[in-house]
């Protein structure tokens, strides 16, 4: 076996291993991130709380911070759990979309907190922009889903 053939064999083996590990690793990763960040909000210890408070004041000033942060934290925890449970991926994606829309808002509504200059994000801005990686990981999970099968009844095939 030539060096190139051995390299191709190793490459194919590594790709197969990574493909096999992708779904469980992606699920666990998203669970950890969303559940952990969510529980920190529920416990009132999240370093994101000041940013969330500023966004809340700018968008929903009629809610108290404590009401919102606990609900938002629980929402994040639910997203994490739904990514972990097989066959809940579609729900997880549906929950992820409004969450990502909400979390990107500070880039536009609170530029004094999220940008230090043109295309230069602050630490808070970087924290938000890194959500693109979470979206990419979620898309990877969605891309591996089996499409729903449509059950076709005999009555639709043979109208009488």
Q: Where are the domains of the chain?
A: 3-157
pTM for the structure as a whole: 0.85
- pLDDT tens for 122-143 read 999 999 999 999 999 999 999 9
- pLDDT tens for 43-95 read 999 999 999 999 999 999 999 999 999 999 999 999 999 999 989 999 999 99
Question: CA-CA distance, 71 to 77, in Å (whole number)?
Answer: 10
Per-residue pLDDT, 41: 97
Please determine, for residue 152, whether its predicted confidence score (pLDDT) is greater than 90.
no
**Per-residue b or e along 111-128, where b marks 16 or more CB atoms closer than 10 Å to that residue's CB:** eebbbeeeeebbebbebb
In the chain, what's the furthest Cα-to-Cα distance?
Answer: 71
């Amino acid at each position: 076996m030539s060096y190139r053939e051995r390299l191709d064999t190793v490459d194919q083996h590594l790709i197969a291993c990574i493909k096999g590990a992708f779904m469980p690793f992606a699920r666990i990763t998203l669970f950890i991130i969303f559940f952990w960040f969510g529980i920190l909000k529920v416990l009132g210890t999240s370093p994101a709380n000041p940013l969330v408070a500023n966004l809340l004041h700018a968008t929903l000033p009629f809610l108290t911070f404590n009401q919102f942060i606990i609900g938002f934290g629980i929402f994040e925890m639910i997203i994490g759990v739904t990514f972990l449970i097989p066959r809940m991926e579609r729900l997880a994606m549906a929950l992820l979309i409004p969450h990502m829309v909400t979390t990107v808002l500070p880039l536009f509504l609170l530029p004094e907190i999220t940008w230090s200059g043109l295309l230069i994000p602050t630490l808070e801005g970087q924290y938000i922009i890194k959500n693109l990686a979470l979206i990419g990981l979620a898309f990877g999970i969605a891309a591996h889903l089996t499409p729903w099968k449509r059950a076709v009844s005999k009555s639709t095939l043979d109208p009488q």
